Amino acid sequence: MAETAVRSSRVLLVAGEASGDLHGGHLVQALRRRCPAAQVVGVGGAQLRAAGMEVLVDVNQLSAAGLVEIAGSIPRHWWVMRLLKRQMDRHRPDVVVLVDYPGFNQFVAKEAHRRGIPVLFYIAPQVWAWGQGRARRMAGFIDRLAVIFPFEEAIFNAHGRPFARYVGHPLLDGLEVSADRAQTRRRHGFSEAQPLLVLMPGSRCTEVSLLLPNLLQAAALLKADGWQVALLQAPTVDRTFLEQVAGGPLPLPLIAGDTYNLLAAADAGLIASGTATLEAALLGCPPVIVYRFSWLTYLLAKLVIGRRTMGLPNVVLGRRAFPELLQREARPAALVRAVAELQARRPQVEAAMAELHSKMGSAGASQRAADLLLELIP
């Protein structure tokens, strides 16, 4: 790749939800360290905007959870797809970068491939959960696939050409705490003598509305048993919405902007299935992994994936080291029992978190993904 090509490169990037915005932001920062003048435009949020991307559509206009919930947002997705196709036609990018969000981004990839534009897909769809037919199809319209779990490279490359490359998990690039356990607890008014539980009901309004009521009921039971409890606020969900779901003023502290420090200071968490469960376990907060879909989404998911392990820490470890409570299992009394189970098995839980650290590898995923991106620029 010539130096002039690097300087004049134009990237179209699509991140469809909060985690993609975060990891996409780190990727753009890594790209700009190599190519300060690279132009990046696309779909994203605050993190990508801060990294210097021109945001054409805000991420909050896209994100949805579940098969049925996504179906309800089809008109928005259709409008965004039209905009992206127009962008490709009028301002042809050198490369299209798609960060996670496979339900939508696979269609963007096909449109780019149809136009002869190279495609980097960063953070692969979880074919090990949903079946491997998608891996075979993706090889036909994606030039490079940057995978973030060590076992994924072999899964994707088993279906034709070797287009997948393991880059490591981007969480490790920014998973840092700025205060010790005692400092964090003092700052937020929590005692060091009592156990601390954190609630993380998700970053999408649909999942929060399904999970939060049961989490709050479980929190009330645990508070009566001597636990301190904090509700951690995702940047995509505001207090007003949380209070609407709770049916009134929140009965416990709502804390925004100090998530990693609080996870490192907590003894356990009731956490929506997803990246946050991995963050918690890596920071030493053993998660109870919870999720509730709409019933139609749940029935469809059961047909596709059955009842295999869904929690990311458990998937990486290859066993159910942390409790998983899905759908009707995620009732308040069961959540309380799961927290007690974590405490009773503390030595084994600590060993599982240490093993998880070892399996996840080293930092540098964002830079390695940026290097893959640069390989695609002529």
280 CA to centre of own chain = 12
How far is Cα 22 from Cα 234, in angstroms, rounded to an integer? 12
Q: In this structure, are residues 144 and 368 in contact, taking their beta carbons and an 8 Å threshold?
A: no
Same domain, 310 and 227: yes
Same domain, 202 and 322: yes
What pLDDT does 171 receive?
87
Same domain, 221 and 345: yes
Same domain, 292 and 368: no
- Residue 35 inside a domain? The answer is yes
Same domain, 127 and 257: no
Mean pLDDT, rounded, of the chain: 89
Boundaries of domain holding 112: 3-168+362-375
pLDDT above 80 (res 163): yes
Q: Which amino acid is at 124?
A: A
- Residue 106 inside a domain? The answer is yes
Average pLDDT over residues 72-81: 81
Same domain, 327 and 355: yes
- Residue 159 binned pLDDT confidence (cut-offs 50, 70, 90): confident
How far is Cα 124 from Cα 122, in angstroms, rounded to an integer? 6
Q: Which amino acid is at 323?
A: P
- Residue 175 inside a domain? The answer is no
Same domain, 139 and 185: no
Instruction: For residue 155, give both structure tokens.
Output: 């899964």
The predicted-structure confidence for 233-253, as pLDDT tens digits, reads as follows: 998 899 999 999 999 899 999
202 CA to centre of own chain = 10
Same domain, 240 and 354: yes
- Residue 174 binned pLDDT confidence (cut-offs 50, 70, 90): confident
pLDDT higher at 34 or 71: 34
How far is Cα 55 from Cα 229, in angstroms, rounded to an integer? 37
- Residue 2 binned pLDDT confidence (cut-offs 50, 70, 90): very low
How far is Cα 216 from Cα 264, in angstroms, rounded to an integer? 21
Q: List, in sequence order, every residue forming a beta bridge with 271; answer none if it has no partner.
A: 200, 289
% pLDDT > 90, the chain: 67
How far is Cα 196 from Cα 223, in angstroms, rounded to an integer? 10
DSSP state, residue 121: E
The predicted-structure confidence for 124-154, as pLDDT tens digits, reads as follows: 887 655 555 666 788 889 999 999 988 889 8
Same domain, 51 and 193: no
CA distances from 196 to 22, 178, 187, 222, 275 (A): 27, 18, 14, 10, 21
- Residue 173 inside a domain? The answer is no
pLDDT above 80 (res 1): no
- Residue 176 inside a domain? The answer is no
How far is Cα 17 from Cα 32, in angstroms, rounded to an integer? 22
pLDDT higher at 254 or 205: 254
pLDDT higher at 221 or 275: 221
Rg (the chain; Cα; Å):
21
Average pLDDT over residues 282-289: 97
Same domain, 133 and 190: no
What pLDDT does 132 receive?
59
**221: domain CATH number?**
3.40.50.2000
Same domain, 238 and 352: yes
**Backbone phi, then psi, for 71, in 5-degree steps?**
-60, -35
Same domain, 164 and 189: no
What pLDDT does 235 receive?
84
- Residue 174 inside a domain? The answer is no
pLDDT higher at 355 or 129: 355
Count of domains for the chain: 2
How far is Cα 118 from Cα 369, in angstroms, rounded to an integer? 14
> Burial code of 217-256, b = ≥16 C-beta within 10 A, e = fewer?
ebbeebeeeebbbbbbbbbbbeeeebeebbeeeeebeebe
Task: Report the phi/psi class of residue 58: left, alpha or beta, with left for phi > 0 and alpha for psi in -120 to 50.
Answer: beta
Tell the residue number behind the tokens 């390695």, with chain if given: 368
What pLDDT does 206 receive?
84
Pick the most confident of 5-14, 32-41, 149-158: 32-41
- Residue 218 inside a domain? The answer is yes
- Residue 19 binned pLDDT confidence (cut-offs 50, 70, 90): confident
pTM of whole model > 0.85? Answer: no
